Structure 1
Amino acid sequence: MRLIATEEAVSFQPIVDALNAHARTDDDSLDMILVRDIYGDNGIRNAMIPRLTDITGERLAQMDQNGIDMHLLSLTAPGVQMFAPDKGTEMARIANDLMAEAVRANPTRFAGLGTFAPQDPHRAALEVERVANTLKLNGLVINSHTNDRYYDDPFFYPVFEAIEASGLALYIHPRAPSKMIDKAFRDYGMNSAIWGYGIETSTNAIRMILSGLFDRFPKLKIVLGHMGEAIPFWLWRLDFMHGYAATAFGGAPKLKLKVSEYFRRNFAITTSGVENHPALRYSVEVLGPENVMWAIDYPYQPMAPAVQFIKTAPFAEDVKAMIAGGNAARIFRID
């Protein structure tokens, strides 16, 4: 059984330096809690940076110890989306060049996702084309909203047109809630993975579906982590209530398919950070085993428990092999 972990975070020194500079600004967005904690001069989690920038040291040693065949590497949140458009575009190109270099240096152990700066959609579309055709990376990654705009906004259509044409899957990774909803998440540590990340990202994804984005771009493939940011558990209610919202109240547009049908057609999910067999069984049942991929969320979560989780998953060996690595190889074009 091939083990391909599909949400494995990295960063590169130029991105670290740029975020360190951003940590000194007066930006008051909710993401700044994480940025200042990790990248700030007095960050309480500065020790995370060596683990993020390491690729072939401790990371590879732990992969070997735990029998992990491959990490699908992605630039960690908040990526390049907090920068001004020119800076974000420049940082995306630098990160993608370094990602491609890392994959070329160790192609049997690492695959990689490219990124882009959605704050400049036209240059982002060009970078998507470069990721696909020149760098030949395995997919794309961004982090939920950009400048408090969600991806149902027509502002981003040029990017999605380029992504659909490339055939690459887009991983939408969490970031802290946008200023549209952030006040409720500023207490009790709710800004990050305990709650805010999932609510932020699932809200973005549902807006994409309800807006009709996937009628306009039916071949888009979106990947969500953390067991689908809880959306699989809401599909029945989404279908039921959308029927009312599209006819009697709420103003939801008519769609060609049910919400659940778009989710099964246009989305896949990973298990990153949710090592829970009942949740996995349910997700496989409602989405089909072909739409679920194993992930660790390293270095934010340890490798060994995640490996134990997938090896003991309550499925036949062929289904387990699909989730552990077969689906990732197909969706992310991994040889």
Structure 2
Amino acid sequence: MKVIALEEHMFPRDLIESEQLDFGLRAGAKIPDLDELDEGRLRIMDEAGIDVQVLSALGWLVQNLEPARSVPLSRELNARLAAAVSRHPDRYRAFASLSMTAPRDAAAELARCVEELGFVGAMIHGQTDGVFLDDPSVRPVLETASRLGVPVYLHPAPPPTTVLDAYYSNLSPAVQACLSTSGWGWHSECGMHVLRMVAAGVFEELPDLTVIVGHMGEGLPFHLDRIQDMLGPVVTGHSLTVADTLRRNVYLTTSGYFSDAPLECALSTFGADHVLFSVDHPFASSSRATAHLRDAPLTPSDREKIAHENAEALLSI
């Protein structure tokens, strides 16, 4: 069975050092793995049975920098991604890193990456200085993705300081760092981010825009009926319901979630055609991820869709 993994992170160590980027406790511990794009990473992929990784820079820090820094640094990250794909063209694809503090530059960079470098979409890390993707200022990026027929992978990011202080204060540094991000907080924010896009009519304006969210849907599958019951009646004037818009425009990946119940929930709400395999390397185990893919209670057809067929169709791989 061919396996394509979509949420697989990288970041060059030399750029972390030269730009003095603070990756925090958890991501900082993974810098050697984020930096590795050759033998070490390929060995992990081979041992787990992963044929292709779609690489993405862990770029929330870059995304939020002032344009004078973020624009050239995003281009450099994309150059590093392109070089890795060039060295291992059968094993890697890439999502573009974008400077979201300069949306028109970001749109132009996305077009360049797709049309000249062969990238398969973009990864955007949450809100940018309080600006979400429903804001008109970032519409050029979404319009470009829609025009090019490539997805935007919306990945969570650590919360702003105001949110951190309001919701996650009076905790140990380790607990605060985890609870505000991968232990809970950024999943709920990312799901809310998608709902803002639906409610604001982004997908009415751009019906062909595709958004991918990881971590088995960032809570959207579990809450879908409640979302429709509560939010649906107040989102008016749209051609589709909130739930049907999500099912049309949003795809989910399995990144970091390797148990049956969340997968079954995602399948029952979004359908097997909208679920794709991911690991979340290096923050999750590739071998554990593929073991669950092989052993999960799936039909042979659904297993192939999740493992590679949906990715091949969505990303034109």
Q: Distance in 2 between matches of 1:15 and 1:241?
A: 45
Are 2:113 and 1:131 aligned? yes
- Determine if contact 2:82/2:117 at 8 Å carries over to the other structure: yes
Q: Retained in 1: the 8 A contact 2:210–2:250?
A: yes
**Distance in 2 (alpha carbons) for counterparts of 1:159 and 1:235:** 27
1:270–1:197 CA distance, 2 compared to 1 (3 A)? same
Residues 1:234 and 2:217 are matched in the alignment: no
CA contact (8 A) 2:13 2:31 kept: no
| 2:283 equivalent to 1:294 | no
Partner of 1:16: 16
Offset at 1:230?
0.7
Instruction: Please tell me whether the aligned partners of residues 220 and 266 of structure 1 are also in contact (alpha carbons under 8 angstroms).
Output: yes
Q: Return the offset for 1:254.
A: 3.2
Q: RMSD between aligned alpha carbons?
A: 1.7
Unaligned runs of 5+ in 1: 24-34, 39-44, 247-251
Q: CA deviation at 1:97?
A: 1.3
Shift of 1:328: 1.1
Q: Are the counterparts in 2 of residues 77 and 174 from structure 1 also a CA contact under 8 Å?
A: no
Using the alignment, how far apart are the partners of 2:216 and 2:181 within structure 1? 16
The aligned residue for residue 182 of structure 2 is 193
The residue type paired with residue 293 of structure 1 is: L
Letter in 2 for 1:197: W
Which residue of the other structure, out of 268, 277, 284, is the alignment partner of 2:267? 284
1:153 maps to a residue whose letter is D
Give the partner amino acid of 1:272.
S
Map of 1:32 onto structure 2? none
Shift in Å at residue 66 of structure 1? 1.9
Shift of 1:121: 1.0
Summarize deviations over 1:262-287 as a string: whole Å, max 9, x none.
Answer: 11111100010111112111211211
Q: Distance in 1 between matches of 2:55 and 2:142?
A: 22
Counterpart for residue 210 of structure 1? 199
- Does structure 1 retain, via aligned residues, the 8 Å contact 2:126–2:157? yes
Q: How does 1:151-230 map to 2 (within 5 A)?
A: 151-178=133-160, 181-182=163-164, 183-186=166-169, 187=171, 188-189=175-176, 190-230=179-219
Tell me the TM-score normalized by structure 1. 0.88
Is the CA contact (8 Å cut-off) linking 2:232 and 2:242 kept in structure 1? no
Q: CA deviation at 1:13?
A: 3.8
Kindly indicate whether residue 123 of structure 2 is the aligned counterpart of residue 144 of structure 1. no
The answer to whether the aligner puts 1:308 opposite 2:296 as a matched pair is no
Instruction: Give SS of 2:282's match.
Output: coil
1:253: how far off? Answer: 4.8
Which stretch has the larger CA shift, 95-104 or 6-15? 6-15
Deviation at 1:118, TM superposition (A): 1.3
Secondary structure, aligned partner of 1:80: helix
Partner of 2:50: 68
What's 2:84 paired with? 102
Q: Which runs of 5+ in 2 are unaligned?
A: none
CA distance in 1, matches of 2:249, 2:44: 33
Structure with the larger helix share: 2
Say if 1:323 and 1:274 are closer, same or farther in 2 by CA, change over 3 A: same
Q: Identity over the aligned pairs, expressed in percent? A: 29
User: CA contact under 8 A between 1:74 and 1:141: conserved in structure 2?
Assistant: yes
